Chain A
Amino acid sequence: MALLARTVQERKEGSTLVVEGVNVPSPRTELLIRAENIKDLVQPEGTPKETCYMCALGLDVKHTDVLILSQFVRSDGCMLPRRITGLCRRQQKKIGKMVSMAQKAGLMINLTPSFCKKDPKKRFGFKKFNSYFDETTIFQKKKLTPFEHIKYR
């Protein structure tokens, strides 16, 4: 299935300006990676059967993996909403947080609003220094119930 996406084109016919939406094939379709197309992909134990494409791939994405994270953002660096990304609730949260981590670390500086200075070292105050982030802080760790505390001690 070839996915289509739309672009808005403007052209002039004589004195009239024609603005029209044109269907264009998505450039990503050929490069797309899906878990069902990979034969020898071993799912980790405890993965539910119906998952989103990101859960099914089981990738360990870090906030420094800008080549993956940049696929989920608009040209101004905004995270795309869930109805467009098609992720599950948990993955949307995780990717969204990692996008903001990458932006704060200045790793996707070309995907920023036009008024951005485009150089992380020209930022104001403490923002001009390098900072890295820990992905384990995205979700709260599961708290053990009192019974489990006794079991694992």
Chain B
Amino acid sequence: MSAAKRVQQWATFARTWHIFDCKWQDPYQSADLIKKYLMGMHKPIYHPMNDCGDVVVCINSRDIALRGDEWKKRAYFHHTGYPGGASWTLAWEVHNKDPTMIIKKAVYRSMKGNLQRRHTMERLLIYPDEEVPEDVLQNVTNQIRQLRLVPTRLDHIPEDEVRKFPKVMDYPKDYVYK
């Protein structure tokens, strides 16, 4: 067995720790990606009865991005069990309360509801910002690639670069600057 193959073997059978930066990521799209690592579906030895899932550490969950106006349109349902105990909470209200809950629920819902789901969820660690406990961070050996590019704000680009950027629009002759 070559050295590369041996490492591959280790990586397959060991519980690897992955890190995922949620900054400007859609939680529902990234949930499908995180799920694969949590359940071990990226491994060749995957089987539903096989405990080969990895640990995923999600950071910056406060900075997730929802599409369009979903912050005020998406509602989370809860029922206390008593008559009239139903409540609907908007996504932005949930996120105000707990910035880790949306990504947690998204991953939870992306998996099939079976007895394994609760145990798989135990392997998902979510942190609202970049502050991760040292004992968690020292286990991390892999970073999951982000799905969406983090956009750059115009005021964060140096002024000189904005001025020298190639232009497509020019003002007409009689334009008065405003």
Residues of A whose CB lies within 8 Å of any CB of B are 3-8, 21, 26-29, 31-33, 53-54, 57, 59, 64, 66-68, 70-72, 74-76, 83-86, 105-111, 125-127, 129-134, 137
Query: B168 at the A/B interface (Cβ < 8 Å)?
Result: yes
Instruction: Please determine whether B178 and A75 come into contact, CB atoms closer than 8 angstroms.
Output: yes
Interface centre among B24, B65, B157, B171 (most CB of A within 10 A): B171
Tell me the minimal C-beta distance from A100 to chain B in angstroms: 12
Expressed in whole angstroms, the Cα–Cα distance for A110 and B154 within the complex equals: 7
Q: Is the CB of A57 within 8 A of B71?
A: no
Note all chain B residues with C-beta closer than 8 A to A110. Answer: 154-155
A1 to chain B, nearest CB (A): 9
Q: How far is the CA of A143 from the CA of B66 in the complex (A)?
A: 27
Q: With A and B bound together, what is the CA distance between A110 and B90 in angstroms?
A: 30
Cα separation A21 to B24 with both chains bound (whole Å):
45
Contact between A131 and B68 (Cβ–Cβ < 8 Å)?
yes
Q: Mark B128-172, 1 if CB is under 8 A from A, else 0.
A: 000000000000000000001101111101000011111111111
Cross-chain contact B67 with A132 (CB below 8 angstroms): yes
- B64 proximity list for chain A (CB < 8 A): 129-130
CB distance from B75 to the nearest CB of A (A): 12
Partner of B167, one of A59, A71, A109: A71
Interface size, chain B (Cβ < 8 Å) = 41
Residues of A within 8 Å of B67, CB to CB, are: 131-134
Which residues in B have their C-beta under 8 angstroms from that of A66?
Answer: 151-154, 157
Asked whether B151 lies within 8 Å of A31 as measured between CB atoms, the reply is no
Q: Is residue B70 within 8 Å, beta carbon to beta carbon, of the partner chain?
A: yes
A126 CB → nearest B CB, Å: 4
Give the interface SS of chain A, mostly helix, strand, loop or mixed. Answer: mixed
Knowing A125-B92, A131-B69, the reply to whether A26 touches B164 (Cβ < 8 A) is no
B162 adjacent to A70 (CB under 8 Å): yes
Contact assessment for B65 and A132 in the assembled complex, using a CB-CB cutoff below 8 Å: yes
**Cα distance A83–B68 in the bound complex, in angstroms:** 30
B173 touches A4 (CB 8 A): yes
Contact B154 A84 (CB under 8 A): no
Contact A27–B92 (Cβ < 8 Å): no
Q: Is the CB of B166 within 8 A of A3?
A: no
B170's partner among A29, A70, A137 (CB-CB below 8 A) is A29
Residues of B within 8 A of A107 (CB): 151-154
| Chain A residues, Cβ within 8 Å of B69 | 131
Residues of B within 8 A of A31 (CB): 164-167
Most central of B63, B70, B169, B172 by chain A CB within 10 Å: B169
B82 at interface by CB-CB < 8 Å: no
A126 and B92 contacting across the interface, CB-CB below 8 Å: yes
